[in-house]
């Protein structure tokens, strides 16, 4: 009796170990790429959108970080040139710096003899153009953030339709393996769409924050430039009156 019990226990242990080894082999045989491929053509579209989103994010990130770097000598140099009535040197310096802020102020230097309101309007107009250039590509990133989850849900619907179609054709001979491809497509595309969408929306919001910071820096420099023009005009009034 004891021998039979021992044999049965050894057989149960061997069967359990065999099932564990098979399960481990199945788990090791499935990788992320194979799992993604079970999502069908929608996963290819999501992959293209993710690559496009990553490119836009890093390209805009490099541009925005460069635009955030301020030249501490820019306003001082422009003030000296304007006080010396030498706008040409100021414009040349702005072109040499070649930053969004220097391009905006170059327009203000060209019109510095106009009234303050006109100069301010010209500066604001050019600032709007520079901001538009900095925001280039952000609408596409926002669209990816909105479209990716919808594509994932579309894959869910098509996958479930495929699963139910296979069930209808199978009749009474329904097998789990017949439904697996449709269920895989439904679940994998949903996960893929949500991942791409979440990453895209965080990337978009981060870039928008950087653009807002640059816009605030531009506004501060424009105000400083207007003050420089006002001071220069006030300083030149006594000389003109004396003449």
The 10s digit of each residue's pLDDT in 43-65 is 888 889 999 999 999 999 999 99
pLDDT of residue 217: 92
pLDDT of residue 142: 94
pTM for this model (two decimals): 0.75
The 10s digit of each residue's pLDDT in 78-107 is 888 888 888 888 889 988 988 899 999 988
pLDDT of residue 53: 95
Contact between 185 and 162 under an 8 Å Cβ cutoff? The reply is yes
Interhelix angle for 176-242 vs 100-110, to 10°? Answer: 30
Residue 74 has pLDDT above 80, yes or no: yes
The residue assigned the tokens 């605030």 is 216
Which distant-in-sequence residues (6+ apart) come within 8 Å of 37 by Cβ?
Answer: 43
* 29 — pLDDT class (breaks 50, 70, 90): very low
CA distance 153 to 105: 49
* 209 — pLDDT class (breaks 50, 70, 90): very high
The 10s digit of each residue's pLDDT in 165-189 is 666 666 666 665 655 656 666 778 8
More confident residue, 181 or 8: 181
**In whole angstroms, what separates CA 135 from the centre of its chain?**
11
User: What are the angstrom distances between the C-alpha of 10 and each of 2, 3, 14, 20, 24?
Assistant: 12, 11, 6, 15, 21
User: What burial letters (b/e) apply to 132-153, b meaning 16+ CB within 10 Å?
Assistant: eebeebbebbbebbebbbebbe
The 10s digit of each residue's pLDDT in 105-144 is 988 888 877 888 888 898 999 999 999 999 999 999 999 9
């Amino acid at each position: 009796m004891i021998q039979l019990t021992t044999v049965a226990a050894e057989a149960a242990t061997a069967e359990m170990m065999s099932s564990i080894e098979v399960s481990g082999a199945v788990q090791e045989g499935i990788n992320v790429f194979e799992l993604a491929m079970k999502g069908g053509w929608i996963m290819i579209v999501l992959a293209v959108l993710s690559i496009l989103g990553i490119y836009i994010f890093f390209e805009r990130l490099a541009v925005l970080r460069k635009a955030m770097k301020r030249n501490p000598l820019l306003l001082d140099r422009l003030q000296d040139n304007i006080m010396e009535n030498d706008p040409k040197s100021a414009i040349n310096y702005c072109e040499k710096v070649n930053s969004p802020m220097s391009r905006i102020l170059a327009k203000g230097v060209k019109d510095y003899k106009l009234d303050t309101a006109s100069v301010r309007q010209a500066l604001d107009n050019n600032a709007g153009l520079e901001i538009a250039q900095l925001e280039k590509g952000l609408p596409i990133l926002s669209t990816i953030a909105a479209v990716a989850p919808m594509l994932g849900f579309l894959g869910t619907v098509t996958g479930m339709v495929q699963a139910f179609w296979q069930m209808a054709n199978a009749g009474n001979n329904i097998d789990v393996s017949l439904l697996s491809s449709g269920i895989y497509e439904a679940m994998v595309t949903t996960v893929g769409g949500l991942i791409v969408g979440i990453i895209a929306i965080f990337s978009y919001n981060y870039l928008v924050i950087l653009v807002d910071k640059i816009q605030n820096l531009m506004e501060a420099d424009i105000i400083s430039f207007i003050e420089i023009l006002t001071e220069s005009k006030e300083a030149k009034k006594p000389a003109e009156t004396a003449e």
